[in-house]
Each structure stands twice: as structure tokens, then as C-alpha cells.
Amino acid sequence: MRTVVIHAAKDLRIEERAVEPLEPGQVAVKIQAGGICGSDLHYYNHGGFGAVRVREPMILGHEIAGTVAEVAPDVTGVKPGDRVAVNPSRPCRACRFCLKGLPNQCLNMRFYGSAMPWPHIQGGFREVLVCDATQCVTATRASVAELAMAEPFSVVLHGLTRAGSLLGARVLVTGCGPIGALVVAAAHLHGAAEIIVTDIVDEPLAIATKLGATRALNTMADPDALKPYLADKGQIDVMFECSGNERALRAGMEVVRPRGTIVQLGLGGDMSVPQNMIVAKELLITGSFRFHEEFPLAVSLIDSGRVDLTPLLTGSYPIEEAVTAFERANDRKRAMKVQLAF
């Protein structure tokens, strides 16, 4: 089968690898759609992120969906022909965090397409993936392209659990990449009264508006765009920081009301924060990492049509044009979510 393999920065290759044999409890999924994630781009552009480096050839990809081709004799939950989204998160279910009900913090996590462990965990950008049947969530209406967005939507749904209720809230989303845009869709679904989005590029702001943003602000064109929300110590109830940028975080903190909540979703380098402001306004700052029980919910919301994520999809490229797809995904003015078709 063909796979998409990263060897080093800007060294992406299409390689043949053998399909793994089925073991009890497993299924073979013919992968048909795979979304290029920010972490995939970090591997492609830089060979890793932070201290994490690619040290051996690694199949990329974890936003994947397809059709079940074969099942082991003991599998009853899914059958050949089922259209499925594949959960790339595989906690060990035995470490102390798994046993405490925090599988997203698993000490022995096997997350597809990750260079964090050694040996690396091979990813899902392949023509056939053998996985546990329990990783597959079936769908009947949604296309494989839509289902491949279940993983990033799960990340966002988990982030919303860290924020608490959004019913009637005024929400600020800083950074309108795919995660920021998905936060807009989820916040709209969860009853936010107002959703303000900021970015430094107009094109993603336009997509965020299609997903439910009530006001889109280009802070590069207008550095004072958030100034109206400074009144009375801040007008924002909940902020989702999705850019990983220190300036965006600081600007947002200034407009969050006392005892407001800031959820940090964006990843970047180390940054400093205005400690006095955090103390004086009694701000709650929380991180959000991956997901677990949110994955089936994400699939259900997408498959039922309660959320329409199709505005995010920029284009789909055949596997042999993987390099072109990655270069397109690098261009924020021309791309939001780029997928590979297998």
C-alpha cells in the first residue's frame, strides 16, 4: 500500500509499505480522506516542533476517515462497507491517568503520526489502516471528507468542556485557523450569544463568519479593533486563544472581564503573561489537550447535520500530489483545511 512518510523537513515521500495482518478485535479500514493538521505541517516544515524531532521515517496523519474493508472474526460492532471516522487516540487504559478517567493525559499514549515516543507512532496517511474496531465510529449521512474533520472538532469540543457553559456568553476567539474556526462552530452550537473572532488575515475571518461568528476583526489592519471591549475592566466572558501568539493572548486578556475564563488551545513557544492583570482581574487560565469521550459526539454532530463544517474544506489532493497539498496548506490566504484523497 502507499503511505505518506516524512523523513526530515521538506522531505516528504510516497512509499510502499505492507498492510499489517488482522489481529483479534481489529478491522482494516480503506482510508479515503485525511486532513493535514498543524502538527503535520510542523513535521513537514521544520522536522518537528519544540524538542520533538523526527528521528526515523514516520507516516504522517491522524485526521482520517474511510470505509471498513475487513473485520476480524470476533468483531461485531462494525462490518465491511461501514463508513467510519477513525479515532487516532489510543491510550493504554492502565496508567494512573487512564485509571483516573484522564485518558488524554495517558503516560503511554499511542497517538497516530506522533514523533514524541520512540519508536515513533506511525500515522494514518496510508491506503489501508489496521486498527482496533473500538476506534471506529460509524456514520450514515456524512461524507468521508466531513468525517475526517471529526478529530479536530473533538479537540475543540474538549476545549469547550474546559470553559464551562457558553450559554448566553460573549466569546472571543483569537486566531482563525482550522481550530479557531471550529471553536466558532462549536460555540455557536453551545448557545454563545456573541462570537468575536480576530486574525491578521481576512480570508480565514470570512470562513469563521460562515460558521457563526458575529463579528470578525482584522487586528493587523486595525490594531485597536478590540478597544470597544475594554470598558469596565473587560466585556468578554470566555476567550479561546487559538493562535499560540503572545500578543494575541495579551490583547485578549485585557478585554476579558474579571473572573472570566481563558482557554489556551493554540500551541507556540514559551511566552510571558501579565501576572498583575491575572491577579487583579482574578482570571482563570486553563489549557486543553486533545480529547477522549468527545470523539463519538463529534461524529454524531457532523453526521446528523447539526454542524456543517464544509466551509472549512479548501480542497482535496490525490496521494501522489501530497507535497502540493502540504504546500497549499501552508498558505493561510488560500487554504483552511486541505485533505488528501487515498
Average pLDDT over residues 71-83: 97
Predicted confidence (pLDDT) at residue 98 exceeds the cutoff of 90: yes
Q: In terms of Cα–Cα distance, which of 288, 90, 109 is closest to 182?
A: 288
Please tell me the predicted confidence (pLDDT) of residue 175. 96
Q: How confident is the model at residue 49 (pLDDT cuts 50, 70, 90)?
A: confident
| pLDDT per position as a tens digit, 5-43 | 999 999 999 999 999 999 999 999 999 999 999 999 999
Please tell me the predicted confidence (pLDDT) of residue 316. 96
CATH superfamily of 2-149+309-341: Medium-chain alcohol dehydrogenases, catalytic domain (3.90.180.10)
Please tell me the predicted confidence (pLDDT) of residue 271. 86
Assigned fold of 154-287? Rossmann fold (3.40.50)
Please tell me the predicted confidence (pLDDT) of residue 267. 83
In a 13 Å sphere around the CA of 284, the CA atoms on its Cβ side amount to: 12
Average pLDDT over residues 124-141: 98
Q: Which three cell numbers stand for residue 240?
A: 479561546
| pLDDT per position as a tens digit, 153-185 | 999 999 999 999 999 999 999 999 999 999 999
What separation in angstroms does the CA of 70 have from each of 2, 128, 142, 160? 18, 10, 21, 36
Domain ranges of the chain: 2-149+309-341, 154-287
Q: In terms of Cα–Cα distance, which of 187, 204, 171, 217 is closest to 312?
A: 204
Please tell me the predicted confidence (pLDDT) of residue 51. 85
Please tell me the predicted confidence (pLDDT) of residue 330. 94
Could you give the angle at which helices 322-329 and 38-46 cross, rounded to 10 degrees?
A: 110
Taking all residues of the chain, what is their mean pLDDT, rounded to a whole number?
Answer: 96
Predicted confidence (pLDDT) at residue 116 exceeds the cutoff of 90: yes
Average pLDDT over residues 241-270: 94
Q: How confident is the model at residue 270 (pLDDT cuts 50, 70, 90)?
A: confident
In this structure, of 65-74, 212-221, 265-274, 290-299, the range with the lowest mean pLDDT score is 265-274
Contact (Cβ atoms closer than 8 angstroms) between residue 206 and residue 180: no
Predicted confidence (pLDDT) at residue 298 exceeds the cutoff of 80: yes
Please tell me the predicted confidence (pLDDT) of residue 268. 77
Q: What percent of the chain has pLDDT over 70?
A: 100
